[in-house]
Amino acid sequence: MTNSSLGEKIRLIRKGLKLNQTEFAKLLGYKFPTSVSKFEDDKQTPDKDKLVKIAELGKISLDELLAGGSEPPHSEKDPAAAAQDPSCEFVTIPRFSDRISAGGGLVPVNDVDIKVAFRKDWILKKGDPRKMSLISVKGDSMEPTLMTDDLVLINHGHNHLDPQGGIYAIALDDFILIKRLQVVYPSGMVKVISDNDKYESVELQQDLVKINGRVIWFGREI
């Protein structure tokens, strides 16, 4: 929406967060939704502290919130809506600011850094974009397949091990790792493989390997 007023932007941010006015008011430190209603109707302007908080919730700068004629990022269609809109050629996937380990393990922080756009026609062939995320690789255990700082796209909806195996994000003892998995027949054990030869593979019972999602794409800076 072009030429959005401050109230319209606040409403778009709230709706982008899928909150009603009461829930949004509580986030801002109000007990009742009256103030939020006045803000959205442009009958009252939030004080500076509240404006800063609203901008943070909308993941935009204070200048963007206060500037005329711009639209806050939360007004853009989420992956599900974009996937259903024939006029939209791209779907955005969140990139998390922490890293997923191809080494000794990582406890995920799950803070969204930015969103990266993928072609809708391609990503819908891979699964539900609402169940996907991007994260950077740390460590050398998956070299030369994956290097430190590679960006991997994980389909969390694909949380089962395929018979032919593949590269997965797995949880072991609360740590998230990127490893190649392979079913060992006839025992049914899971072989957890590091592509780097200097790391030994291990075989584990399937119930000990919690699959967080399958790696379906990676990107690398030169």
Q: What letter would DSSP give residue 195?
A: S
pLDDT of residue 182: 95
Give me the domains of the chain, ranges plus CATH numbers: 6-75 (1.10.260.40), 79-219 (2.10.109.10)
pLDDT of residue 98: 61
The whole-number average pLDDT for the span 39-48 is: 84
pLDDT for 72 beyond 50: no
Give, in degrees to the nearest 5, the angle at Cα 4 between 30 and 27.
Answer: 20
Look at 183 and 174; give whichever has higher pLDDT. Answer: 183
pLDDT for 207 beyond 60: yes
pLDDT for 192 beyond 90: yes
Q: What is the pLDDT of residues 111-129, one digit of tens each?
A: 566 788 999 999 999 999 9
Look at 66 and 139; give whichever has higher pLDDT. Answer: 139
Give, in degrees to the nearest 5, the angle at Cα 180 between 187 and 117.
Answer: 140
Instruction: Name which of 178, 206, 174, 169 is nearest 191 in CA terms.
Output: 206
pLDDT for 22 beyond 50: yes
Identify whether 144 is preceded by a cis peptide bond (ω within 30 of 0): yes
pLDDT of residue 119: 92
